[in-house]
Structure 1
Amino acid sequence: MTVSASTAPPQEESTQAAAPGPTANPNPTAPPAPEKRRGADTRALTQLLFTQLKELESGTAEHARVRGALIEANLPLVRYAAARFRSRNEPMEDVVQVGTIGLINAIDRFDPDRGVQFPTFAMPTVVGEIKRYFRDNVRTVHVPRRLHELWVQVNSATEDLTTTFGRSPTTAEIAERLRITEEEVLSCIEAGRSYHATSLEAAQEGDGLPGLLDRLGYEDPALDGVEHRDLVRHLLVQLPEREQRILLLRYYSNLTQSQISAELGVSQMHVSRLLARSFQRLRSANRIEA
């Protein structure tokens, strides 16, 4: 039995919402409201399924069938809980899937003999699973736990003050409401932005400008030499150890031939001949087109 989250609150609240007040149901003989009837049907079905589930052996096909029916019957509870997180701009299908995991955990742990209504028992588990998802998976940058918890308070205070003032509150007003500094408010707002990352290739909305990659990128002049350096590194190992050292001293340590000759204890002429021979070997081993 599937009900849209936007039209059906959780089961225990359905009864409260439809409970007759002084003017709610002037005709006591009128049929019950659809929401109340739907909630009562779901509670009755859930109770019946839990009674059956308790008598079945775990792992059997019948146990899996009844368990699946319980999940399906209580999906409106998950959608109601997921609707509380619409402001996070996360795909609602993903949030509902995560909340369904919490629902399944609640079903597996629920004991109908304890006298607690299942929606009352399951709601904290469903909401906790969704919050854990946002905390551990959604954020692009993980922020300190204290800052994350304070961001939740800042977000709530912002919504309350917006309703009170009829406009967006200032940083000072939020700080005064929560009795924290304006710097902490600004840090929380910055932390809240870590929920989303902007692609470097995404075009800027509205202004039609190219993405950040096109506007901030540049060509690294050293890129052309990467392939050649890798090739030279491969060829150097083919030279005798002394010639490798001479090349390293000359082109990596930037020593002159006279300094190399003093380092190795040989004549400068001999260093020059060894360098020329090394170049010849490298060129013959790999001919690079000009």
Structure 2
Amino acid sequence: MAACPAGADREALREAAITAYLPVARRIARRYGSPDRSREDLQQVACLGLVKAVDRYDPGLGHAFLSYAVPTIDGELKRYLRDFSWQVHVPRRLQDKHRLVRLAQEELNRSGHTDGGTVRDIQRLTGIDEQDVRLALRADQARNPLSVDEQRGTGKGFTLAETVGGDDPRLELVTDLVALKTLVAELPARERAILKLYFVDSLTQRQVADIVGISQMHVSRLLDRSRAFLRRGLLGG
């Protein structure tokens, strides 16, 4: 293929090379112990890696094709698993350990451990620290998260979404309330007292006037002045 000029003959040889090594690509994809629903995706990624290996291989370097193709395919699979198969970001180091743990679980399943073996069983097979084995098992939840529509509870009477809290609309007011508190502290003591009596204690202007010892009209003017000051401070006017 490398010796052929561009044209139909070269394309035919390229297609024959890809077809011949497809079983190798699929076998490499199976190493990753992926759930059944994504196994087809992994095989497609492996085939893409094979195509890249065929197109980029240089026989003039003196290396056998498989010695170049296998790491190329393997690299494509690792990049795919790192970048696309995790719903939540998981560090690369933990992703690599997760893959080893999954392979160990498959081996334990084949040897009769239908539950995938214990943490200690996996540790013995992989040599990974038990704490890291537990982290890798927990990381599997980031790869296969539960659906929020899944029925939960003893009688399956509600969905997971119904147990998840929502945003508190009052959170949007927090910044304004902090700024308002600072501005109110800049007002004279009498204006602060009037604001409290009127807005917090819900008294009428007449009742506020009687308590403070000024006229109702004066209370009204002080409220207007205080509100204007606070509005300018909040809006930057």
TM-score (norm 2): 0.60
Q: Deviations over 1:123-151 (max 9, x none)?
A: 33212211221122211223233333333
Give runs of aligned pairs for residues 169-208 of structure 1, distance below 5 A: 169-203=117-151, 208=156
**Superposed structure 1 runs of 4+ greater than 6 Å apart:** 254-257, 275-278
Could you tell me which amino acid in structure 2 is paired with residue 212 of structure 1? L
Give runs of aligned pairs for residues 149-164 of structure 1, distance below 5 A: 149-164=96-111
Whole-Å separation in 2 of the counterparts to 1:275 and 1:259: 7
Percent sequence identity over aligned pairs: 29
Q: Is 2:28 aligned against 1:81?
A: yes
Q: How far apart are residue 113 of structure 1 and its match?
A: 5.6
Give runs of aligned pairs for residues 21-40 of structure 1, distance below 5 A: none
Q: Deviations over 1:164-213 (max 9, x none)?
A: 45454222333345455432321121123321222323445996443211
Q: Match of 2:160?
A: 212
Q: Match of 1:126?
A: 73
Q: Is 2:190 aligned against 1:258?
A: yes
SS at match of 2:158: coil
Q: Match of 1:22?
A: none
Q: Match of 2:40?
A: 93
Q: CA RMSD in A?
A: 4.3
Q: How far apart are residue 218 of structure 1 and its match?
A: 5.5
133, 141, 147: which is aligned to 2:94? 147
Q: Deviations over 1:197-234 (max 9, x none)?
A: 223234459964432112334684649xx7xx8xxx9x
Could you tell me which amino acid in structure 2 is paired with residue 143 of structure 1? V
Q: Deviations over 1:45-70 (max 9, x none)?
A: xxxxx2xx52214xx67655653454
Q: Deviations over 1:102-161 (max 9, x none)?
A: 112111222346676544542332122112211222112232333333333333333344
Change (3 A) 1:83 1:56: same
Contact residue 250 and residue 256 of structure 1 kept, 8 A: no
Contact residue 172 and residue 182 of structure 1 kept, 8 A: yes
Whole-Å separation in 1 of the counterparts to 2:153 and 2:19: 40
71, 81, 86: which is aligned to 2:18? 71
TM-score (norm 1): 0.51
217, 220, 223: which is aligned to 1:272? 223
Q: How far apart are residue 250 of structure 1 and its match?
A: 8.4
Contact residue 261 and residue 271 of structure 1 kept, 8 A: no
Whole-Å separation in 1 of the counterparts to 2:150 and 2:39: 23
Q: How far apart are residue 257 of structure 1 and its match?
A: 7.9
Structure 1: gaps spanning 5 or more residues: 1-49, 234-247, 279-290
Aligned length: 200
Q: Match of 2:3?
A: 54
Structure 2: gaps spanning 5 or more residues: 195-217, 230-237
Whole-Å separation in 2 of the counterparts to 1:177 and 1:80: 22
